[in-house]
Amino acid sequence: MNKRSNTWKRLTALCLSLLLAVGIFSATAFAAPIAESTGSINVTGVEDGVTVSAYKVLDVNFNYDEQQPVDPVYVWSDEVKTWVRDNYSSYIGTDDSVTETFTENQLNADQKAGFYDALAAAIKNNTITLTASGTCTGNGTISSLPMGGYLLLIENGMKVYRPSAVNIVPEYDETAQEWKMSTPSLEVKSSNMDIEKKVNEDESDGHDSDVSDKGAIGDTVNFDLRADVPKYPANASAKNYAISDILSAGLSLADGSIKVYGVNADGETLLTKDTAYSIDTKRPNPAAASETTSFTLNFVYDEIAAYTQIHVDYDAVINGNAVVGTGANTNKAILDYNNNPYDSSSWKDTPDDVKVYTYGLKIRKVNKQDELLTGAEFTLSKNSDGSNPLMLVKTDDGAYRLALTGEQETTTLVAGENGDAKGKLTISGLSTGTYYLTETKAPGGYNKPNTSVTIEIKDDNLDGKPTSGNSSEFADGYVALDVINTQGFVLPTTGGMGTILFTAGGVAIMGAAVLLFVVLRRRKGVSNR
């Protein structure tokens, strides 16, 4: 009797050891006593809408009549045993059983993970012909599964999921002195796949680098993006990973400015072009094959697998096509990657963008009657004395923008002459700040002001809607103002009696002076005779 008891204890110990060995990623909880041969797996930690498939790779020998396991407790299923024998012969016995080599004490976590990665690859590339025993969508329960060991594969999510192993097996309840079916719960391991874009992140001027910043035509803007690196299984057949950037028409990539780093706990390592990555202008994702990018970095996954993130740093220049106001000059980054490690046609993309705003001035040249005037000329400076006026390029009648190096420049700004532009001056591509508008030539017949007009452009919300002074925001991105001219040398008169008396007195005095002059001339003439 003692011998039989010891045999059962050894069998129980072996069963528990094998349970630990196969269920390397799972946690189990007791359920009701075994009454039938099916069970369920509760799955958590996955995204909504993804498909979780359970593939049965191990059979369990259990005698339901006697309510006890039968040695060998675990055997490889018919569908996988040949593959295991050909590739991992030490894991399978002559009777197709799971050997003691495949135990917690014999294999470390990396070795077990490597085995399940390889097994998943064989299933997905049809080296092993095996149909899923059950599925669920998102977090949920896979039900009506026969007792056994299962490999769970997850597809179609934004995250990259690694294969997970879990078991539906009997466990012995020492208190009740009976075998009970376990109800396993699995929290799936996955890699988050995010990308984050920043603009001028090193400038401490109060802007939110995750969202937007401002600038003027000709300014250099710095961009940083950081993207998560997925943890693909070692035997994955689909490990495509690329980062693309699309600059709007108002931004030009600065030549030679791209720097790429691998990031881990030890810091950043500069990666070598043509070794760790190559540069293209097309996204590898077939769904976006027709889209042209400012640049696309196609990575060699094995060269970056040791890093947790990729950091890309580069510059762009705000050019003459810059959009003024809320339309913004957008910089969009896109992370393309295979979300199913065993299907090269599986692609997901994660975008992020930031905005760069520019502003402008809309000036009306008018008289006191609010009539538009032509012929006025101005300069615009950032100095209060009007010195060093800004260089601009004429784009239309009465319209100018900041000039880029090498363009035909002018400092003289002429108000519009014809049509809708008559008497108007539009200046585009400015940043926030204080500007001084100096009128250098007045319209014909009008006085030229002897002081400059001070104009302040502010955008505290960085949304492309500037304010100036105490005015409300200008929704189109242009600060608007009128510059008024007065006319000629007309002096003000009141028409009062005092003025009339002074005028009459003046005339009388002038008359007396003339009379005195005549008399003196005559006397002088008589004397000369």
Higher-confidence position of 206 and 403: 403
What mean pLDDT do residues 78-96 have?
96
Higher-confidence position of 350 and 513: 350
Q: What is the DSSP letter of 98?
A: B
Q: What pLDDT is attached to residue 235?
A: 80
Measured CA to CA, the distance from residue 96 to residue 88 in angstroms comes to: 12
Measured CA to CA, the distance from residue 59 to residue 529 in angstroms comes to: 156
pLDDT confidence bin for 65, thresholds 50/70/90: confident
β-pair partners for 434: 456
Cβ–Cβ under 8 Å, residues 437 and 383: no
pLDDT over 90 (residue 55): yes
User: How many Cβ atoms from other residues are within 10 Å of residue 251's Cβ?
Assistant: 24
Cβ–Cβ under 8 Å, residues 143 and 260: no
Measured CA to CA, the distance from residue 46 to residue 154 in angstroms comes to: 9
Q: What pLDDT is attached to residue 228?
A: 97
Measured CA to CA, the distance from residue 230 to residue 341 in angstroms comes to: 10
Q: What pLDDT is attached to residue 524?
A: 53
Q: What is the 3-state secondary structure (H, E, C) of 13-69?
A: HHHHHHHHHHCCCCECCEEEECCCCEEEEEEECCCCCCEEEEEEEEEEEEECCCCEE
Count CA atoms within 13 Å of residue 336 on its CB side: 24
**What type of residue is 278?**
S
Q: What pLDDT is attached to residue 506?
A: 54
pLDDT over 60 (residue 24): no
Q: What pLDDT is attached to residue 64?
A: 77
Measured CA to CA, the distance from residue 468 to residue 284 in angstroms comes to: 46
> Cα-atom radius of gyration of the chain, to the nearest Å?
42
Cβ–Cβ under 8 Å, residues 152 and 167: no
What mean pLDDT do residues 315-336 have?
97
Burial of 261-273, coded b for 16+ CB within 10 Å and e otherwise, reads: bbbeeeebbebee
What mean pLDDT do residues 439-461 have?
94
Sheet containing strand 30-33, edge to edge, reads 30-33, 178-182, 170-173
What mean pLDDT do residues 53-78 have?
89
- CA 124 from chain center: how many Å? 33
pLDDT digits (tens, 9 = 90+) for 153-167: 998 788 999 899 999
Measured CA to CA, the distance from residue 98 to residue 373 in angstroms comes to: 95
pLDDT digits (tens, 9 = 90+) for 368-390: 999 999 999 999 999 999 999 99
pLDDT confidence bin for 22, thresholds 50/70/90: very low
- CA 345 from chain center: how many Å? 24
Please write down the long-range contacts of 446-450, taking CB distance under 8 Å and 24 or more positions apart: 446/367, 446/373, 446/485, 446/486, 446/487, 446/488, 447/485, 447/486, 447/487, 447/488, 448/485, 449/483, 449/485
For tokens 């599964």, the residue is 145
Q: What pLDDT is attached to residue 113?
A: 87
Sheet containing strand 241-247, edge to edge, reads 212-214, 348-357, 329-337, 241-247, 292-299, 277-282
Provide the whole-model pTM. 0.78
pLDDT over 80 (residue 502): no
Q: What structural domains does the chain harbor?
A: 2-187 (no CATH), 195-357 (2.60.40.740), 359-485 (2.60.40.10)
Q: What pLDDT is attached to residue 404?
A: 95
pLDDT digits (tens, 9 = 90+) for 174-204: 888 877 777 899 998 888 899 999 999 998 8
Q: What pLDDT is attached to residue 389?
A: 97
What mean pLDDT do residues 106-112 have?
86
Mean predicted lDDT score pLDDT of the chain: 87
Q: What pLDDT is attached to residue 293?
A: 98
What mean pLDDT do residues 434-441 have?
97
pLDDT over 90 (residue 516): no
